[in-house]
Amino acid sequence: MTTLSEPPSPGEARSPGISYQQLLDTDSRPENVPVVLRWQSYHFTDDTDIPVSRYTSREFHELEKDKVWNRAWQMACRSDDIAEVGDTLNYDICGQSILVVRVSESEIKAYFNACLHRGRQLREHDGNATELRCPFHGFCWNLNGSLKQVPCEWDFPHIDPDTWSLPELKVGTWGGFVFVNMDPNCESLEAFLGNLPSHFEKWPLENRYKSVHVARVFPANWKVVQEAFMEAFHVVATHPQLLAGIGDANSQYDFEGNFSRAITPNGTPSPHLSYTPSEQEMFDAVSDRRLDQPSFIVLTDGMTARSVTGNGGRINLRKTIGDEADKLSDAELSESIYYTLFPNFHPWGAYNRITYRFRPYGDNHEMSIMECMFLEPFDPSKPKPPSVPIHWLGPDDDWTEAPELGMLARVFNQDSFNLPRVQVGLRSMRKPGVTLANYQETKLRHFHNLLNEWIARP
Ligand code: FES
Ligand SMILES: [Fe+2]
């Protein structure tokens, strides 16, 4: 029989402070809190260490290439990145090049970006084309992949045009994103996504345009970087300036199928603080007020940081999503709701604009690319603004060189300071594994449990 004095079972312990579900009960529009924020799906799986070699060994990287990158659905681009017929985009993964092409208004195809003659990349830059012509000797394919022209055809009587179409990858779309899969026998994208699309029904990502896209190269394994954006546990040490207005340790973590989710509430105090901040102090923290600036809004009696954030968000969003803005709860306008779809795609929920993608840099297992995109709603009475191209930053660049990221640039700088040092530390470590928290590192555990399954596949 369980008594109150017994310690909780592994995974049952929770931080002091208000739980996320209790916080939802205080919403100024409780009837508008969507069911997906009431959804809870956590169970303890295990507390075994994650082998350090997953982050440092070439052999494991080769295994990942073979078992994951060559087989899993991965986000290649926004559909709007190739808006016009003939637009092409290169998606590079682990040294392999994929060519994504808009074939018609309604059809997108993806090809292995290699000429069938002697293998040159067909296109190395994004752009628009009426045909896919190899620059080396001039073999040419139509946008739909069928063979168009063989130079000196008399010299290639052994080529059967019917069997010389460009080999294709599987392509699927969801939320305005284009996904590709190199495995001809893969499950459908719909099956792979599972219930993830149902979480975004109230916040359709296909109705957004990409207003910001910044990519930065890091001298660290792609999972080291990705995992720094999958928990709020690091906030207390890495981003202490946020504590007055973030329920970091009161975040909720969930997982199901191939995706996981964290909800970190904002406009509520961190349980790490030894004092209770006022609603004004919480609002000042979430609104990124400098200490030498006056408050952006002075809160009077009865106003809370979350209700003021909610009202501001509704007023702002009414310009683009109209009356739908009035149906949003404070929660949807306040929280950080960050999903992860295996292996590397991180769309954020509600109207926080962020989407992340992480991947190896070229074929280097100790370098990676982190990308941050902003997906903005737009006024439907006006033409959809164009999707921006990638703004690249090098490993020594500062995120503030991408001012389009706003306050996030300074927060990312704090994260970035850790990451190369994690890689050096892991290389130096003699303990064979890294140790995860049972609850706050749920998303990492879920990712590695999925990775175990993918690696074990024949
Ligand atoms: S390699 Fe492409 S035409 Fe020769
Ligand atoms: Fe962070």
Asked if residue 373 lies in contact with residue 354, where contact means CB atoms within 8 angstroms, the answer is yes
Instruction: Domain of residue 428: give its range.
Output: 20-58+194-456
Query: For residue 400, is it within any domain?
Result: yes
Alpha-carbon distance of 333 to 414, in angstroms, equals 24
State the burial class of residue 301 (Cβ atoms within 10 Å of its Cβ: 0-12, 13-18, 19+). Answer: exposed
Tell me if 135 CB under 6 Å of ligand 1. Answer: no
Residues 219 and 176 in one domain: no
Tell me if 139 CB under 6 Å of ligand 1. Answer: yes
Query: For residue 11, is it within any domain?
Result: no
Alpha-carbon distance of 442 to 232, in angstroms, equals 11
- If DSSP codes are grouped into helix, strand and coil, which group holds residue 220? coil
Chain position carrying tokens 């199928």: 257
Alpha-carbon distance of 230 to 261, in angstroms, equals 8
Alpha-carbon distance of 197 to 431, in angstroms, equals 40
Residues 361 and 228 in one domain: yes
Tell me if 272 CB under 6 Å of ligand 1. Answer: no
Identify the H or E element spanning 420. Answer: helix 408-428
Tell me if 410 CB under 6 Å of ligand 1. Answer: no
Work out the number of other CB atoms within 10 angstroms of the CB of residue 273. 13
Closest listed ligand to the CA of 122: 1
411's tokens: 């927060």
Tell me if 136 CB under 6 Å of ligand 1. Answer: yes
Residues 348 and 446 in one domain: yes
Residues 311 and 368 in one domain: yes
Q: What is the pLDDT of residue 1?
A: 52
Asked if residue 146 lies in contact with residue 103, where contact means CB atoms within 8 angstroms, the answer is no
Query: For residue 250, is it within any domain?
Result: yes
Q: What is the pLDDT of residue 289?
A: 87
Chain position carrying tokens 């956590």: 42
Q: How far is the CA of 238 from the centre of ligand 2 (A)?
A: 7
Alpha-carbon distance of 171 to 189, in angstroms, equals 8
Query: For residue 255, is it within any domain?
Result: yes
**Cis peptide bond upstream of 343, omega within 30:** yes
Q: How far is the CA of 239 from the centre of ligand 2 (A)?
A: 7
Identify the H or E element spanning 306. Answer: helix 305-321
Tell me if 120 CB under 6 Å of ligand 1. Answer: yes
DSSP string, 212-241: EEEEEEESS-HHHHHHTTS-STTHHHH-GG
Work out the number of other CB atoms within 10 angstroms of the CB of residue 291. 6
Count of H-run helices and E-run strands, the chain: 13, 20
Tell me if 118 CB under 6 Å of ligand 1. Answer: yes
- What's the angle, vertex CA 118, arms to CA 114 and CA 119, rounded to 5? 20
3-state helix, strand, coil in the chain (%, to 5): 30, 25, 45
Residues 285 and 256 in one domain: yes
52's tokens: 């350090």
Residues 389 and 242 in one domain: yes
Q: How far is the CA of 165 from the centre of ligand 1 (A)?
A: 14
Asked if residue 112 lies in contact with residue 122, where contact means CB atoms within 8 angstroms, the answer is no
Work out the number of other CB atoms within 10 angstroms of the CB of residue 275. 8
Closest listed ligand to the CA of 133: 1
Chain position carrying tokens 């191939």: 258
Q: Which of 139, 165, 185 is the last residue of a domain?
A: 185
Question: Which CATH number covers residue 366?
Answer: 3.90.380.10
Pocket probe for ligand 1: among 134, 140, 148, 155, the residue whose CB has the most ligand atoms within 8 Å is 134
Total tally of structural domains belonging to the chain? 2
- If DSSP codes are grouped into helix, strand and coil, which group holds residue 282? helix
Query: For residue 368, is it within any domain?
Result: yes
Long-range contacts of 29-35 (CB under 8 A, 24+ apart): 29/310, 29/328, 29/329, 29/330, 30/329, 32/327, 32/328, 32/329, 32/332, 33/329, 33/331, 33/332, 34/202, 34/329, 34/332
Q: How far is the CA of 116 from the centre of ligand 1 (A)?
A: 7
Residues 174 and 100 in one domain: yes
411: left (phi over 0), alpha (psi -120 to 50) or beta: alpha
Q: How far is the CA of 155 from the centre of ligand 1 (A)?
A: 14
Residues 206 and 174 in one domain: no
Percent of the chain with pLDDT over 70: 99
Residues 181 and 258 in one domain: no
Phi, psi of 253, rounded to the nearest 5 degrees: -125, 135
Residues 348 and 413 in one domain: yes
Query: For residue 2, is it within any domain?
Result: no
- Return the residue whose CA atom lies nearest to atom 3 of ligand 1: 137
Tell me if 137 CB under 6 Å of ligand 1. Answer: yes
Question: Which CATH number covers residue 116?
Answer: 2.102.10.10
Query: For residue 64, is it within any domain?
Result: no
Where would I find the beta strands (DSSP E) of 175-251?
Answer: 177-181, 208-218
Query: For residue 374, is it within any domain?
Result: yes
Work out whether strand 252-256 and strand 259-264 pair parallel, antiparallel, or are unpaired.
Answer: antiparallel
Alpha-carbon distance of 360 to 372, in angstroms, equals 15
Tell me if 149 CB under 6 Å of ligand 1. Answer: no
Chain position carrying tokens 């169970």: 43
Q: Which of 185, 211, 226 is the last residue of a domain?
A: 185
Q: pLDDT under 50 in the chain at which residues?
A: none
Tell me if 170 CB under 6 Å of ligand 1. Answer: no
Helical packing angle, 305-321 and 279-286, nearest 10°? 40
Closest listed ligand to the CA of 233: 2
DSSP-derived secondary structure letter, 107: E
Ligand 1 atom closest to 116 (CA): 2
Q: How many CA atoms lie within 13 A of 113 on its CB side?
A: 20
Q: Which residues touch 10 (CB under 8 Å, ≥6 apart)?
A: 44, 47, 438
Q: Which of 185, 210, 234 is the last residue of a domain?
A: 185
| Three-state secondary structure readout of 27-61 | CCCHHHCCHHHHCCCCCCCCCCCEECHHHHCHHHH
- Return the residue whose CA atom lies nearest to atom 1 of ligand 1: 118
Work out whether strand 252-256 and strand 208-218 pair parallel, antiparallel, or are unpaired.
Answer: unpaired
Residues 364 and 414 in one domain: yes
Asked if residue 78 lies in contact with residue 176, where contact means CB atoms within 8 angstroms, the answer is yes
Residues 259 and 376 in one domain: yes
Alpha-carbon distance of 375 to 437, in angstroms, equals 31
Tell me if 116 CB under 6 Å of ligand 1. Answer: no
